[in-house]
Amino acid sequence: MFSDEIRTIQKLGVRYVVLQVLNFTQVIISGLMIWKALGIVTNTESPIVVVLSGSMEPAFYRGDLLFLMNPRNTPYVVGDITVYKVPGADIPIVHRVIETHTVGPLPTDQSLLTKGDNNRLDDLELYKGLRWLQRKNIIGKVHGFLPYVGYVTIAMNDFPQLKYALLGFLGLMALIQRES
């Protein structure tokens, strides 16, 4: 099946294959570096997230892409759409802040309550025993929006075969693609 490709690789020699592998790793590493640099600039562990549930419809649908920021000294205000993760939960949740209570001396010492626009009740049930959300539970505030793009990742999670097929294909292309 891949006899042609294998022959190509043999013809090109080891040095060329090593170079291509290095190129491929460089692409992956620079992607990772950009991601981490974005994380430092925006002060959040994940500056871009994909919407996974319909609880913020009709504002956000499954598969929409959100851009987050979490400035260190800026308090959250009601109406902000935040992404948060409480201890014990596996996935982050995108919901709107509906109550803020500034309990400490700093303006950022806040107890928060959130709710999905499309949900009837507030999020108390989702907090896994917490009474209020704290700032440390919040990943960031939504500043930008790009529709549909994130659906690729949802599709890859729902059908893992797709993920492996895509990765394998990209890897193979990177190895056998010849610069013209």
Name the residues annotated as catalytic: 55, 95, 123
Q: Does 58 bind another protein (CB under 8 A)?
A: yes
Which of 89, 146, 167, 172 is in the footprint of another protein by CB under 8 A? 146
Rounded CA-CA distance 128/69 in Å is 25
Q: Does 59 bind another protein (CB under 8 A)?
A: yes
Rounded CA-CA distance 70/48 in Å is 12
Q: Which residue has the tokens 């419809």?
A: 57
Q: Does 172 bind another protein (CB under 8 A)?
A: no
Q: Does 121 bind another protein (CB under 8 A)?
A: yes
Q: Where are the beta strands (DSSP E) in the chain?
A: 48-50, 65-69, 81-84, 93-102, 110-115, 133-134, 138-146
Site for another protein in 68-107 (CB under 8 A): 77-79, 96, 98-103
Query: For binding to another protein (CB under 8 A), which residues are involved?
Result: 58-59, 77-79, 96, 98-103, 117, 121, 124-125, 146
